[in-house]
């Protein structure tokens, strides 16, 4: 793909060329706070543009636009809202390459990966096109003499989504598709590292006929996030990002009376049993560990090699590493791009040093890649660290880079103990040809999403996505049926249409029999 992203910018600023604005009330709104942050071109290692950071007043303006739009939007018929959802779906489908190009430009992921992200986001729009069916309530006739009871689900009002850098289009779609289909109005606070995809989506939604104020984007940092968490007119907050911030969002948002779902970080274990097909397991480990430079919350971070599988598996993984093609998104052969920022790459590199100091064995060191040494871009080759134990930093922390660790254990029970004692519980996979062992793992493991010979078990849009333990704060998983539940609240109506003259005073508690 050779698509080039048209920068989403409003006005020239200094040496960086331009600034990414907000999207409020159906139009681009240039920031007035005077605060901005850099947006890098990760493949070149330069600042490509800046992004406006919203002030409290600018967040308030977005909330005012969303509040003003809410009454008419929730009263818009389900068939009309469905028609608009279909049009959004079609426009996103038609503009896959432009959306992907924004991601390649600011996140650095290669086009094939970026297009995969758009495709998975699109699934959520398609699910939300079924909203008339999804919002059907229940009806019980004649619960008592002449009395019926029925339940309806209604939107919450203004809701907000705060999203991470690694999926700048898909994660917003996880949230806003169901939120607006259910009749809410929405405020997106994208990652400040790659904000253009969010503004571009705002423009597509406007073209699809989404009324002004139904979908808004405020760019920014902690100032914008804190205002969202405190604002009295925001009813619910969805968050995806790292665990410490997810915990903060959940605690602060719920303290301010909001419904909150906050998805956090991960350390996904891929357990390989001795009977597994070594080539299949090695292909899966390499694909899932290094795709998107390891910057995926469902990336395989650590292989748990059980028994005698360890030596051949490490060898098979090692053999595949030199074949991975690393380069900028403009290189049609590149399978893996740079990391998102230089600062993040340096942090990832630090785990290679600590692993050696703490006694692990570095089988492949990404610093040997020519683009690490000879490019200004934020490139790092792929690394494989063997003989990692649970107390080492490279096992304990979420590295979020192209580094795969291997922990060797003796038995299935040792593997299960390791996974269940880990503080994260986002995804996990087991590779085996033994159906009974796989089923036992599915039963035993304390993790929210499980793959059986599938390394990245991201649920399809008609199920819901969510981890356990430190990977999710809140009750409801994201998107799918639980997303509909999150963005609506139930109302139960008890109804009677008695004939005049049949009533009498009765101070007893209402009874059905
Ligand atoms: P992050 O937590 O740094 O940022 C996420 C969002 O929170 C951004 O919009 C950011 O502006 C905001 N934020 C950051 N620091 C803040 C602070 N101190 N106060 C208020 N707001 C703040 O995460 P990231 O680096 O953008 O994304 C990577 C992380 O996201 C990884 O930990 C990854 O596992 C996680 N993630 C999880 C999932 C999931 O579904 N569980 C999906 C994608 C990413």
Ligand 1: distance of its center to the CA of 340 in Å?
Answer: 13
Residues with CB under 6 A from ligand 1: 162-167, 189, 191-192, 221-222, 225, 240-242, 245, 263-266, 297, 398, 400, 426, 467, 471
Q: Residue 422: what pLDDT?
A: 98
- At residue 6, the pLDDT reads 62
Ligand 1 centre distance from Cα of residue 437 (Å): 35
Q: What are φ and ψ of residue 467, in 5° steps?
A: -95, 180
Q: Which atom of ligand 1 is nearest to the CA of 398?
A: 32
**pLDDT tens digits, 231-282:** 999 999 999 999 999 999 999 999 999 999 999 999 999 999 999 999 999 9
For residue 191, report the distance from its CA to the centre of ligand 1, in Å. Answer: 8
Mutate to test the pocket of ligand 1, among 20, 52, 164 (most ligand atoms within 8 A of CB): 164
Give the number of the atom of ligand 1 that is nearest the alpha carbon of residue 400: 31
Token pair belonging to 155: 């939107």
Helices (H), 275-433: 278-290, 310-320, 342-357, 370-374, 393-396, 412-421
Identify whether 129 is a catalytic site residue. no
Span 84-129, pLDDT tens digits:
999 999 999 999 999 999 999 999 999 999 999 999 999 999 999 9
Please determine, for residue 33, whether its predicted confidence score (pLDDT) is greater than 70.
yes
Cα–Cα dist 209/215, whole Å: 11
pLDDT digits (tens, 9 = 90+) for 456-482: 999 999 999 999 999 999 999 999 999
Residue 174's closest CA among 448, 429, 451, 487? 487
**So what's the pLDDT on residue 318?**
98
**What confidence score (pLDDT) does residue 4 get?**
54
Domain 3-264+471-492 has CATH 3.40.50.2300: no
Chain segment 294-333, per-residue pLDDT in tens: 999 999 999 999 999 999 999 999 999 999 999 999 999 9
Q: Which atom of ligand 1 is nearest to the CA of 266?
A: 34
Q: Where in the chain is the domain with CATH 3.40.309.10?
A: 268-452
> Facing residues of 449 across strands?
427
Side by side, the strands of the sheet bearing 147-155 are 138-144, 147-155, 488-496
C-alpha of residue 324 to centroid of ligand 1, in Å: 28
**Ligand 1 pocket test: which of 241, 341, 397, 469 has the largest number of ligand atoms within 8 Å of its C-beta?**
241
Topology (CATH) of 268-452: Aldehyde Dehydrogenase; Chain A, domain 2 (3.40.309)
Which helix H or strand E contains 144, and what residues bound it? Answer: strand 138-144
CA distance 366 to 352: 9
Assign 3-state DSSP to the chain and report helix, strand, coil percentages, each to 5.
40, 25, 35
Q: CATH 3.40.605.10 spans which residues of the chain?
A: 3-264+471-492
- Tens-digit pLDDT profile for residues 377-419: 999 999 999 999 999 999 999 999 999 999 999 999 999 999 9
d(CA 46, CA 259): 39
Judged against a pLDDT cut of 90, whether residue 2 lies above it is answered with no
What confidence score (pLDDT) does residue 313 get?
Answer: 98
What contacts 41, CB < 8 A, 6 or more positions away?
47, 48, 105, 106
Euclidean distance between CA atoms 195 and 189, whole angstroms = 9
Q: Report the length, in residues, of the chain.
A: 513
Q: Which residues pair with 492 in a beta bridge?
A: 151
Residue minimizing CA distance to atom 34 of ligand 1: 265
Closest CA to 295 of 341, 235, 332: 341
């Amino acid at each position: 793909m050779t698509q080039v992203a048209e920068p989403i910018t409003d006005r020239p600023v200094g040496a960086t060329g331009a600034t990414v604005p907000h999207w409020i009330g159906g139009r681009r709104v240039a920031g007035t706070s005077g605060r901005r942050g850099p947006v890098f071109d990760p493949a070149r290692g330069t600042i490509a543009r800046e992004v406006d950071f919203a002030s409290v007043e600018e967040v308030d303006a977005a909330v005012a636009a969303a509040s003003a739009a809410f009454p008419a939007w929730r009263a818009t018929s389900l068939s009309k809202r469905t028609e608009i959802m279909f049009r959004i779906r079609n426009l996103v489908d038609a503009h896959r390459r432009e959306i992907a190009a924004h991601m390649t430009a600011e996140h650095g992921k290669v086009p094939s990966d970026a297009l995969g992200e758009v495709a998975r986001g699109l699934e959520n729009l398609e699910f939300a096109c079924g909203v008339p069916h999804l919002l059907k309530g229940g009806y019980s006739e004649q619960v008592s003499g002449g009395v019926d009871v029925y339940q309806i689900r209604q939107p919450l009002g203004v809701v907000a989504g705060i999203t991470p850098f690694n999926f700048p289009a898909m994660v917003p779609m996880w949230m806003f598709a169901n939120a607006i289909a259910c009749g809410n109005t929405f405020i997106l606070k994208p990652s400040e590292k790659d904000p253009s995809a969010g503004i571009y989506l705002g423009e597509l939604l406007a073209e699809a006929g989404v009324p002004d104020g139904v979908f808004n984007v405020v760019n920014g940092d902690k100032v914008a996030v804190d205002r969202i968490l405190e604002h009295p007119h925001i009813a619910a907050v969805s968050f995806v990002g790292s665990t410490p911030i997810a915990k903060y969002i959940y605690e602060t948002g719920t303290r301010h009376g909001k419904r909150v779902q906050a998805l956090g970080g991960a350390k996904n274990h891929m357990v390989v049993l001795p009977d597994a097909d070594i080539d299949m397991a090695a292909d899966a480990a390499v694909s899932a560990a290094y795709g998107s430079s390891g910057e995926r919350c469902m990336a395989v971070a650590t292989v748990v090699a059980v028994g005698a599988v360890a030596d051949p598996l490490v060898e098979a993984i090692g053999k595949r590493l030199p074949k991975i093609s690393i380069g900028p998104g403009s290189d049609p052969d590149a399978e893996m791009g740079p990391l998102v920022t230089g600062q993040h790459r340096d942090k990832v590199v630090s785990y290679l040093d600590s692993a050696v100091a703490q006694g692990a064995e570095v089988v492949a060191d990404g610093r040997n890649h020519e683009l690490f040494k000879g490019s200004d871009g934020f490139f790092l080759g792929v690394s494989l660290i063997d003989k990692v134990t649970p107390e080492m930093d490279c096992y304990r922390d979420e590295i979020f880079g192209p580094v795969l660790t291997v922990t060797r254990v003796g038995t299935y029970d040792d593997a299960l103990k390791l996974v269940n004692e880990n503080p994260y519980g986002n995804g996990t996979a087991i590779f085996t040809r033994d159906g009974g062992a796989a089923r036992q793992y599915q039963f035993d493991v304390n993790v929210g999403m499980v793959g059986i010979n599938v390394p990245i078990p991201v649920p399809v849009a008609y199920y819901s996505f969510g981890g356990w333990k430190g990977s999710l704060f809140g009750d409801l998983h994201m998107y799918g049926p639980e997303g509909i539940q999150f963005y609506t609240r139930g109302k139960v109506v008890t109804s009677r249409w008695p004939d005049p003259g049949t009533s009498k005073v009765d101070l007893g508690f209402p009874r059905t029999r």
